[in-house]
Structure 1
């Protein structure tokens, strides 16, 4: 027997959720057109008012809901009392010509190769925004985290301030960058200490960080012009990659 006609199901909407007041506020400050809907609980009624005004002008929905319902919408209790539902944003390919201009302006560059934890990505983005660094490149490593709901939340709005791109074949990209940047990788072991490396002022710095389990892949290390390490007391082997990034980003901001 022929199957009866099935009810039509609308296609699933491709969206992301940006949670927490700092992240939502940064989103409305930088790109409010991305926002499709807004939900908030009683705690953030006053703070959400200007966002609601923007959405009302664009004829987009917003609603105050109970905290329990907000948790269901977010799929997690880690929503900070307010959620913006947005269209996903593609991460563009790295543009070597743009990087040439960044170098000419003396702007440092941070590159992540295989940093798979989205919380670490968010923490690094937050640190970059705090210290005023702008350019973040993510490799095509199979384990590399890309901007996600977790990364946006942990970044506390920091990702909105960054120019994020993705690089195919990172060793090749690093060789291209070496014409305009000092390409410096981070690694454990007997490498030059951070103070010695960063005190030399020539070209702007492109700093490359790997993941916590394996560090930088061998091909990436080979493509770096220099390697540095952060000396410690020897009680633990290494720092969390977000902590390493924070130390080095603070130093880059002073160069």
Structure 2
């Protein structure tokens, strides 16, 4: 009889995530310090790493100053920002029944319907958090990106400030959320401008796949079909459309509901973000809403 009879292999531990960049690493230590396994950094980032290393030393966790080539190997990218934290993996949580209250806490809830590029996910999270989002909802579409090294790096810490949930049946869940949120789909042409939307409740902004737009099921849930969905600001490079463009839409759509404070305090900060996203200060969003659930 084989010595391996009845052997049950142990499940593999999930691979840790590599959080790169000053803002992303600081946000990780602020929001999930217990998740940090170890820290690597360049000599030029000693001033940033110093307080973080003291925390790790108190908790008997490793940290090390390394050369640029080694840090690129550890990070898996040359775009590491000079500091990399190895952390316990984080994934989107399943949306509850009833839905978690934090989904309704912000002035805008970004909803991603098949966004496949993790860099786009991170950029959308960065803009949405700046303008008051508290959570993000992503679809169960097989093309949908999840939380990954690239998404955390691109978000520059924003994903640490957002609760991220996954809905296997996005269309059904959008109908459930419509009692407390105004659910709208963004479009490049047609529809109505953001200022024409009702303003009696927070907005769930649905953004479709980079190439095919909103899925047919979600279009049906939004009580209409036919308009092509997309959101590249006119005259802007396409690479800026998902992050900067979505942020501009969120700013315009949620402005009457926004309260001062947090990431979104003051007109100057909103205009500064627009400049950083490649948009002109105080320029109304070029998005229009194709469909919405009133």
Q: Same fold per TM (> 0.5)?
A: yes
Which residue does the alignment assign to 2:174? 174
Aligned length: 242
Name the SS for the 1:136 alignment partner: strand
Question: Greater CA deviation, 232-241 or 136-145?
Answer: 232-241
Q: Are the counterparts in 1 of residues 203 and 254 from structure 2 also a CA contact under 8 Å? A: no
Q: Residue deviations 1:82-109, cap 9 Å, x none? A: 1000110132111253456754x56432
SS in 2 for 1:69: helix
2:201 maps to which residue? 203
- SS in structure 1 opposite 2:243? helix
The whole-number CA distance in structure 2 between the counterparts of 1:74 and 1:159 is 18
Normalized against structure 1, the TM-score is what? 0.85
RMSD: 2.7
Which residues in structure 2 correspond to 1:1-255 (within 5 Å)? 14-99=15-100, 102-103=103-104, 107-197=107-197, 200-225=198-223, 240-255=241-256
- Other-structure match for 1:4: none
Provide structure 1 residue ranges, at least 5 long, that are not aligned to the other structure: 1-10
1:147 Cα deviation (Å)?
1.0
Q: 3-state DSSP class of the match of 2:175?
A: helix
Aligned in 2, Cα 1:101/1:48: closer, same or farther, shift over 3 Å? closer
Cα distance, 1:33–1:219 mapped onto 2, change above 3 Å: same
Deviation, structure 1 residue 164: 0.6
Aligned-pair distance for 1:208? 0.6
Shift in CA distance, 174/39, structure 1 to aligned 2, threshold 3 Å: same
Cα separation, 1, equivalents of 2:75 and 2:107: 37
Q: Deviations over 1:176-212 (max 9, x none)?
A: 1122222111234432233322xx2122211111012
Q: Which sections of structure 2, spanning at least 5 residues, go unmatched?
A: 1-11, 257-294
Task: Measure the CA separation in 2 of the matches of 1:230 and 1:75.
Answer: 31
